[in-house]
Structure 1
Amino acid sequence: MASASYDPHLGAGPSDDSVILLDDDSDSGSLLSDDSVLPDYERDEKHTEPAKSLYEACARNEPASLRRIMERGVTKEEANELDINGRNGLMLAVGKGFIDIVTMLHVCPLIDINHQDNDGNTALMIAAQAGFVTILNYILNFYSGVDTEVRDPRGFTALIKAGLQSREECVSALLMHGADMNAMDLVHGRGLKDWILRTGGFDTLYRIRRLQAQSVAEQFCDSYIPEWPELKQLVAKATAVKTTSQKLRQCIKDSLSFNFPHDPEDNGVLDHMVRMTTGIHSPLIATGCRPLCPSSPPEVGKPRFSVPELLEKHSSIELEEKAVNTVGNDSGSRKGIPALTHRLIDVSTAHSAGNI
């Protein structure tokens, strides 16, 4: 078997003693592993009455019933009611992709976000291996105390499970939230990249390589460049006077060239478009809020706080005053712009306690 050459970002390929990539004793014998097949909760009968418990509302995907139940109040036992597989209502809603239910349950402090079912899965693991990146990001950003390093009996974390299922978006979200890329499973002692290589998730490996090549995200809170830096050079080159031979070569090149789809180039016009539509000084932004940590952008492997955890460390009044001062004092901004509270907080820039 040909082994992959060493790459500083991807690491070494599979070991030479791996004669067969997917051998019988491997947990990756099938991409659809046993614990990734969620039980069938669908019911043929139609319910004529609204749900009476939190679990029933989650199972039926009834946001109105869930809102009514939470308004009247729930006990700890009701909030953590389990089915025969050891899953609570939140885990069931995550597995079925009920986004409305997941977004409502984060205000219930009685739910154990790190609860493990009979297979050792948490709500975060279920979202990661199912590829529900929207739900995954919501759990990471709006649920307090999420532990990304919880392991199932085999030692798989949510990050490894996402890699096994080739969920590259979920892998990226977990890495940018501080998940440990170097965690090893407890059975075979393999890490994330080794498991991805063994399951053929080359697109996921490419995404990890891109993240490692630029591990720190860019923030444009303090700067805004309205013009693409390479624009002047390209315009000058296009408008320059060409000789007859240059025109002939360009004509031949255009007639013989083929256009194939390709990824956007780094620092190209698409990247600049993102910058000019997200910069705080951009005229396309009507109302904005400066991040709490403008000098500490998101970074691979760097833990971050969720919104409720930020609000515990900083009062709403403090956040509002900071937002008003920073937005009002920026050049090109109108003073007195009303600041929103946690809805406008850039949670992607909040990190460990030492950076707040």
Structure 2
Amino acid sequence: MVACYAGFLDIVVLLSGCPYVDINHQDNDGNTALMIAAQAGHDMIVNYRLNYYPGLEVDKRDARGLTALMKAAIQGCNNCVTALVLAGADLNAVDPVKGKTAREWAVFTGRFETIVQIRRLLQRPRAEQFSSEYLPEWPALPELVAKALATKTRGERMQEKIRSSFSFRFPHDPEVDGVMDHMVRMTTSLASPFVSTACQTICPLSPPEVGKRRLAVPEILRAQVPNAKPPAEAKTCSGAEELPGCSQPPALASSQPRGSMPSFLPLRLLRRSSIFPEDHVPRIKLTKPPAPPASAEEQPEESQDRNTLRLPKWRYKELREKRRAAKELEEGS
């Protein structure tokens, strides 16, 4: 929980291989680690816990009846809301105190961007670009090309010229299903050469979908079962009825040893770790500067030997001895 609150991704990655960690453990307020990470806005940790921690309860409630999706919507963490919704979080869940859903909590707290994000997810509930059947073609392109190549009358050309001369161009958000939306969807799809060379798809026929519970990677590869077959022999993933067409790529099975969980982290996180660095930790030696040599006048005769320790001289003691000697001298005179 502390690692999820502070954003320590390396600690969360290391704890994913520990079999004694209760991923659904709740603190005194009923918060789980997923709730804390979603409320803090750590989308990388939320995605890693959803993908690599099997048996994670997405809709678990705290003491007030709030879920991780409600907490993320209250704080306005759009990336965490998207990850939880596509992982199967219930958008229609209602808390027992206020009787509000995650969308109503976003409206109540004034999170306008979160409301727009949830609306976009509901308008397009299935991420088609993450499926192998997705075609990276813009449906509106033929109509726009035909409109641009069509012959125009003299009045239409004059009207278009006047409109372009006297119109003002103000910056505005990209249009829904426009060219920018299509470019983003096309470059992040499985058909993109950038994605195909950087990752391996486990379930190409089952893209993320709103309201559909997603299985974690260990659940798909049966890595959490002690008597499971090696990954090279496992043809289908667990829960094949939920994820049709889910198969393990052979390159993934050959590159990982038996019983180990394959990692889909970026190379920058695999090559270097802040907890266990690859390089040897340098040894630091602390040395004290040599003491300045004392003069022969200040050094007493009995302490000339370096093996003996001298008593420290305190300034207040010297002043007290001088006052005492002066007082005895006055009394004797």
Matching residue within 16, 41, 49 for 1:139: 49
Looking at structure 1, the residues matched to 187 and 160 of structure 2 have their Cα atoms a distance apart, in angstroms, of 35
1:131-182 deviation digits (Å, cap 9, x = unpaired): 1111111111111221112222111111111122122221221111111222
Distance 1:181 1:228 in 2: 30
Paired residues of 1:224 and 1:275 also in contact (CA < 8 A): no
Structure 1 position 242 matched with structure 2 position 152: yes
CA 1:116/1:253 → structure 2, altered by over 3 Å: closer, same or farther?
same
111, 121, 124: which one pairs with 1:211?
121
- Whether 1:114 aligns to 2:114 is no
Q: Which residue of 1 aligns with 2:34?
A: 124
After TM superposition, the structure 1 = structure 2 runs for residues 252-263 of structure 1, keeping only pairs within 5 Å, are 252-263=162-173
Alignment of 1:56-95 (within 5 A): 91-95=1-5
What is the aligned partner in structure 1 of residue 81 from structure 2? 171
Once the two structures are overlaid, the 10-residue window that deviates more, 279-288 or 96-105, is 279-288
Q: Where do residues 233-312 of structure 1 align in structure 2 (5 Å cutoff)?
A: 233-282=143-192, 285-286=196-197, 289-292=200-203, 294=205, 296-312=206-222
Paired position in structure 1 for 2:106: 196
Match of 2:252 in 1: 340
CA distance, structure 2, for counterparts of residue 306 and residue 131 of structure 1: 21
CA deviation map 1:10-55 (0-9, x unaligned): xxxxxxxxxxxxxxxxxxxxxxxxxxxxxxxxxxxxxxxxxxxxxx
Amino acid at match of 2:251: A
Runs of 5+ unmatched residues, structure 2: 224-228, 238-248, 254-261, 266-333
The Cα offsets for residues 39-88 of structure 1, whole Å up to 9 and x where unpaired, read as xxxxxxxxxxxxxxxxxxxxxxxxxxxxxxxxxxxxxxxxxxxxxxxxxx
Counterpart Cα distance in 2 of 1:305 and 1:95? 24
- Partner Cα distance (1:221, 1:183) in 2: 28
Alignment-derived partner of residue 95 in structure 2: 185
Secondary structure of 2:99 counterpart: coil
Aligned residue type for 1:157: T
Q: Deviations over 1:82-110 (max 9, x none)?
A: xxxxxxxxx11111111222222211121
CA contact (8 A) 1:211 1:300 kept: yes
Aligned residue for 2:232? 317
Q: Distance in 2 between matches of 1:219 and 1:267?
A: 13
Residue identity matched to 1:264: P
Give TM-score scaled by structure 1 length. 0.59
Distance 2:111 2:192 in 1: 38
Query: Structure 1 92/272 Cα, relative in aligned 2: closer, same or farther at 3 Å?
Result: same
In 1, distance between residues paired with 2:32 and 2:137?
46
Aligned AA (1:131): G
| Percent of aligned positions that are identical | 52
* Cα displacement string for residues 170-209 of structure 1 (whole angstroms, at most 9, x for unaligned residues): 1221111111222222333333233222211222122212
Report if aligned partners of 1:224, 1:282 keep a CA contact under 8 Å in 2. Answer: no
Letter in 2 for 1:292: C
Structure 1, gaps ≥5 residues long: 1-90, 323-336, 346-356
- After superposition, the Cα gap between the structure-2 partners of 1:321 and 1:171, relative to the gap in structure 1 and judged at 3 Å, is closer
Between the aligned partners of 1:224 and 1:216, the Cα distance in structure 2 is 12
Name the CA distance, whole Å, in 2 between partners of 1:321 and 1:160.
Answer: 34
- How far apart are the structure 2 equivalents of 1:310 and 1:247? 59
Q: CA RMSD in A?
A: 3.0
Greater C-alpha Rg: 2
In structure 1, C-alpha distance between the alignment counterparts of 2:193 and 2:48, rounded to whole Å: 29
SS class of match (2:14): helix
Q: Which residue of 1 aligns with 2:69?
A: 159
CA contact (8 A) 1:95 1:126 kept: yes
Where does residue 40 of structure 1 map in the other structure? Answer: none
CA contact (8 A) 2:130 2:208 kept: no
Q: Which amino acid aligns with 1:230?
A: A
What is the SS of the residue equivalent to 2:120?
helix
Query: How far off its partner does 1:257 sit?
Result: 2.0
Q: How many correspondences in the alignment?
A: 240
